[in-house]
Amino acid sequence: MNKEKPIAALFDFDGVVVDTEPQYTLFWDEKGKKYHPEIPDFGHHIKGQTLIQIYKQYFRQPEGLQEEITRQLLDYELTMHFEYIDGVVDFMKELREKGVKLAIVTSSNDAKMANAYREHPELKSMVDYIVTADRVTHSKPHPECFLLGAEMLGVEKDNCIVFEDSFHGIEAGNRAGMKVIGLSTTNSAEAIADKCALVIPDFTDFSVEKMKSILQ
């Protein structure tokens, strides 16, 4: 870490800022049972991937299927609740107060994020930049999204901390050359411990100083 230059915190959205992963798991598990019964726990299997990537890998055929799933997903997201992960709002406020730059880096598209903004209109003002799936060419585990987040914040990758919960997201952060703090909201702490610099259950009792210690 270069102590003379700014640092940044890059947050995944689902399972890190808001507790939506169980809701998405239910939706995609139903699609998996119907179209891919050969893949157990389909909702868990596709975590961290963009909708385009999910379609490309699992729903190429029949014609019209992608459009139908998109309609169902949009209807489903209108009924979702976007409850904040414990402690994340206070932690983000502390980051702001101490001059740390913030970005949300998500595999969700703009349409989905619009639903989150309706429930939490303050969300955009809580961070400096938001990277969605519509801003990148490659989805996680490709590092493009985190590298773009760092670039837009004007922060070197060595001065960035990534907060992630999914295997794809954690891999993307590591491939970007950034330190990763894992949240055990989606996978167990044991399952992600060897892939992260630190694992936390949520942001309760977590501080900027603890985060900075990971960079040193």
Residue 135: exposed, middle, or buried by beta-carbon count in 10 A (0-12, 13-18, 19+)? middle
Q: Residue 55: inside a domain, yes or no?
A: yes
Looking at the fold, whether 103 and 204 belong to one and the same domain comes out as: yes
Q: Is pLDDT above 80 for 57?
A: yes
CATH of the domain at 168: 3.40.50.1000
The 10s digit of each residue's pLDDT in 125-180 is 999 999 999 999 998 999 999 999 999 999 999 999 999 999 999 999 999 999 99
Q: Residue 32: inside a domain, yes or no?
A: yes
Measured CA angle at 67 (ends 25, 82), to 5 deg: 35
Q: Residue 61: inside a domain, yes or no?
A: yes
**The pLDDT of residue 1:** 66
Mean pLDDT of the chain: 94
Looking at the fold, whether 133 and 177 belong to one and the same domain comes out as: yes
Q: Residue 37: inside a domain, yes or no?
A: yes
Provide the 10 A C-beta neighbour count for residue 58.
19
| Euclidean distance between CA atoms 163 and 155, whole angstroms | 16
| Radius of gyration of the CA atoms of the chain, in A | 17
Q: Is pLDDT above 80 for 201?
A: yes
Q: Residue 2: inside a domain, yes or no?
A: no
Residue 118: exposed, middle, or buried by beta-carbon count in 10 A (0-12, 13-18, 19+)? exposed
Range of the domain at 43: 21-78
**The pLDDT of residue 147:** 98
**The pLDDT of residue 196:** 98
Which residue has tokens 């930049």? 129
Are 116 and 123 in contact by the 8 Å Cβ rule? The answer is yes
Residue 80: exposed, middle, or buried by beta-carbon count in 10 A (0-12, 13-18, 19+)? middle
pTM for the whole structure: 0.88
Q: Is pLDDT above 90 for 203?
A: yes
Residue 105: exposed, middle, or buried by beta-carbon count in 10 A (0-12, 13-18, 19+)? buried
**The pLDDT of residue 47:** 83
Looking at the fold, whether 172 and 206 belong to one and the same domain comes out as: yes
Beta bridge partners of 14: 18
The 10s digit of each residue's pLDDT in 88-129 is 999 999 999 999 999 999 999 998 899 999 999 999 999 999
